[in-house]
Amino acid sequence: MSPGDTGGVRVGRDAGADGGVAPRLAVAAVQCDVEWEDRAANLSRAARDVAAAAAVGAQLVLFPEMFPTGFSMRTEVVAEGPEAATATFLHEQASGLGLWVGGSFACRTPDLPLPVNRFLLVGPSGQVTVYDKIHPFSFGGEDEHYAAGSTIVTAVVDGVRVTPFVCYDLRFADSFWGAASGTDCYVVVASWPSARQSHWRALLIARAIENQAYVVGVNRTGSGGGIDYRGGSVVLDPFGGVVAEAAGVPELLVATVDASRVREVRSRYPFLADR
């Protein structure tokens, strides 16, 4: 790969367990550094990352929170329209390479006074799923610069039910619980700081175990806005076991999500029915 791209490809163990016919999905988590408030540079690098993921057979490619700019509160600089550069990039990558691509960015909308932190997922035939971060990170002042979303959404990606969340949402288990019965795989894209790295991993594992679903956590590396990031992107199975995990450097993490494994775990251990 070219300099500035993810530094390597880590392929997780095959997550399939029972040989069933339920859908399987090859997911690529792009753990990358982000050039602070430099959309052009970040989208250029991201295009190379999508190509690398496609080359190893990924069907779904995921980028960290606010991957075009970093987690900036300067919305006058980083916010863009819902059909501007980042949305155009995701559409072009998805259609050009025949896969699904998603990540979050600062998005202005005509009906809100503040931008939203929007996760946009685009499919190869132009399918679009929009999730606006429900829990702005008030500890970091995000609530002063970004409006809160209100709706949890689930997309069907090549037959696998995928429910996205963004960073701070991870701390609110009730949001995950409400979507559990219709979810095979949760996606959490983040700019999670290294100061609370242990929380990131522990909460991801908890969300997988308590909802008996896969969890894909995609975090950035490097530094931005005076905050350090240590990666730790991970794919977890419905028992909380590690399918694949990245270290603290830019890396392309690839693993298989198997809906039959979700079905098997929930059938053998019907814990969700007791909520």
Residues assigned a catalytic role? 65, 133, 167
- Written as one string, the DSSP assignment of 100-124 is EEEEEEEE--TT-SS-EEEEEEE-T
Q: Are 140 and 99 in contact (CB under 8 A)?
A: no
Q: Are 148 and 109 in contact (CB under 8 A)?
A: no
CA dihedral angle for residue 80, residue 82, residue 83, residue 89, rounded to 10 degrees? 70
Compute the C-alpha angle 269/28/247, nearest 5°.
Answer: 90
Please state, in angstroms and rounded to a whole number, the distance separating the CA atoms of residues 125 and 74.
Answer: 34
DSSP-derived secondary structure letter, 147:
B
